[in-house]
Structure 1
Amino acid sequence: MRVPFRFIHAADLHLDSPFRGLSKVPSAVRERLRDSTLTALERLAAAACRDDIDFVVLAGDLYDTADRSLRAQLRMQKAMERLAAAGKQVFAVHGNHDPAGGRSARLRWPDTVHVFGTEEVGCMPAYTRRGELAAHVYGISYGTPSVRDNLASQYALRAGAPFHIALLHANVDGQEGYDDYAPCRLAELAGAGFDYWALGHIHDRRVLHEYPHVVYPGNTQGRSIRETGLKGAYRVSVAEGGSIDLDFFGLSDVLWLSCEVVAEESDGEQRLKDKLLDAAERARREADGRPAVVRLRLSGSGALLERLLRDREAEAWTAELRDWLGAPDERDDWVWVERIVVGTRRAALAGGAVEDGFLGELLQLAASASAAPAASRELLDEAAEPLRRHPRLRQWLDGQDAAQRAELVARAGQLAAVLLSEGGE
């Protein structure tokens, strides 16, 4: 007999993520970011205890590294004990960032917590707070950081439960921008007989299919400018008749935001300052009481904008803008400008004006390469080959992901267009 129940589906907590590159930011920003993934976990546990929730499922990458930090493990233990005291079961799998083979502290976990093993897909009963059988929960953990096998093909229903939840850390249909771990197809999941696929690995929330539901909740806290907006988890309500309702709720302690600013030909320094400040205040309102790390994307046309692009004046504007917005330790809803990225309309116009010339060809190459991960890697590797002789620069180049490589190529194309259209070398 099916009974109504509710559970929380979360994934990709990445507890104690190091947030590299923060050495030059104020301590208030640095410490808030370093604690943000742990604060999101506390909010997750509080929501499960406060709301009418029967159990929690965690779909991998609970920790940020295989050799997880002691602080992260102790905070996780504290959250699990809090959930156990409230009578909430927890079911979890490990993903590519926190494979089961990583180093772990010898800690005691509540009996209400079940972490699935790595050898085969396990199955566990999940109960309502009243003790009624709500569902079977299935899962398998990564034993190593790189799992290329189709784990979904190993899942099979087991009789005896009115509802079936499959917990899986995987890339469904080769979602772009993410490693193709445990690859599988959406059609395969939809036809496997499960009622709900609780997925992890993709850091954006996505409902890939309904009835059966195939769902990514995204991560619980953004960790870079590539993970913008409010992050959180889903409350999943299952009615007696089998209908499913998804309710997303935010857990982010700090928001990462990207804001567009458009400059006109006639804009001078004061007008530009006003526009940048207005964009920062828009970001503050969007964050709705939370602190925010903001990237301002400045585009348009005019000599002032081209000077920012050519002479690296954007760095000076960034420093002044941070000063105008005030110290982060003076208010809780602070805004920290991560950087100002400059592009120009003139670069695009130049490409159209000389479509058959060298500049047009260069711009077309930059545009096509920035849109294709493999092409941007090839172009960047070729252009930066002389730099690879320097160990630290080589390490930095190798550490760029697809989005960062694309941005570097696009910005190089814009700068080249400005310089070449002026007759520069």
Structure 2
Amino acid sequence: MIETLITFIIVFGVIVVVHEYGHLWWAKRAGILVREFSVGMGPKIFAHQAKDGTFYTIRILPIGGYVRMAGWGEDKTEIKKGQPAALVVSTDSENLVTRINLSDRVELDNAVPILVTDYDFEQDLYIEGEVFGEMKRFAVDHDATIIEEDGTEVRIAPLDVQYQSASIMGKILTNFAGPLNNFILGLIAFIVVVFMQGGVANQANIIGSVEKGTPAYSAGLRANDKIMAVNGQKTATWSDAVTEIQSSEGKTLDLTIEQAGTEKEVKVTPKKVDGTYLIGIRQSLKTGFWDKITGGFEQTAYMFTAIGRALSQLISRPSLNDLGGPVAIYQMSGQAAKGGIITVISFLGMLSINLGLVNLMPIPVLDGGKILLNLIEAVRRKPLSQEKESIITMIGAVFMIVLFIAVMWNDIMRAFIR
């Protein structure tokens, strides 16, 4: 139980951090203010503000994360008319407001109490209201922070640092960066796995090792022997040899092998193990440095293809049984943990690539949906109105929430009831 939980938190946490960091890095390069970088959801348990104004937070529920970009979606600072606030005003000649406190959980020294009547944190940068019975107007610093009602402190978002003000290419790169980072993480994971395994599978028809006490060992087969043919059927690759051996149905095989440069005929009778006919030989490995690097790329490409094929089948034949949420991932984390560190890293690589591909689906709220809106903006040469974009995003959000609940319920039913 503990092992499964720790594996789940580490694997999911690494994938989320890497994904969201991609958005963070490119957003800053595009001139977009990142107000918050969060790992997890729900109430925050840790917060730190960097010099550039971004708050880094860890929240209590380890089921995701987000990058809160200025001006994106519903990222608005709302202050109701008559709402009490406290202002920290600089003591220099400019008398600019540098902090605005809307929370009753936080107290600021030497703050000016105000009942807010009007404000603008996007263009004119001011806040005004009643101070000790007198109406006053204060200029607000471009980089001022605002402490929201839940105690989260973020920078205000003038128009020049909002998402909408970035170039189209800057927006596309910002939205694509999350999935891209997941693909890079998946590649690194599979390269690490290949190195830990000592090499990558050699597709040549060369025996890597022979287990003692098995039919192959008893018949005289040894490491580095080449399987040239099985029952007269040429076997140029390892896959050819395996296919012929496993389709034998237990009948004695006539193997043509090359051993120490000499061809010879050998008879071997396969043994049935867990429903599969085996003779006790293992595939050889390519152990060169570049072979291992190439092997990592090949495993990544294979995973891309397999997941892409699964997604296409899911689109053509939708089924909740083909989807998995946090409950399913938690269960798979437990299975991976039992398999050891190599299995855990392989699982991380698979899950990272899966998350990257799913996020590129053109559904509003997902990164693919945002990129689609960016492309529409490029074709129209102007963005959609805030109202239309909000409606589209809301539809996507509702769809994803309903799907999430349905998948969670299905996972629970499969795990604990059926």
TM-score range, shorter chain: under 0.3
Larger Rg: 2
Task: Report which structure shows greater RCO (CA 8 Å, sep ≥6).
Answer: 2
TM-score calculated relative to the size of structure 1: 0.25
Task: Report which of the two has the higher share of helix.
Answer: 2
Task: Report which of the two has the higher share of strand.
Answer: 2
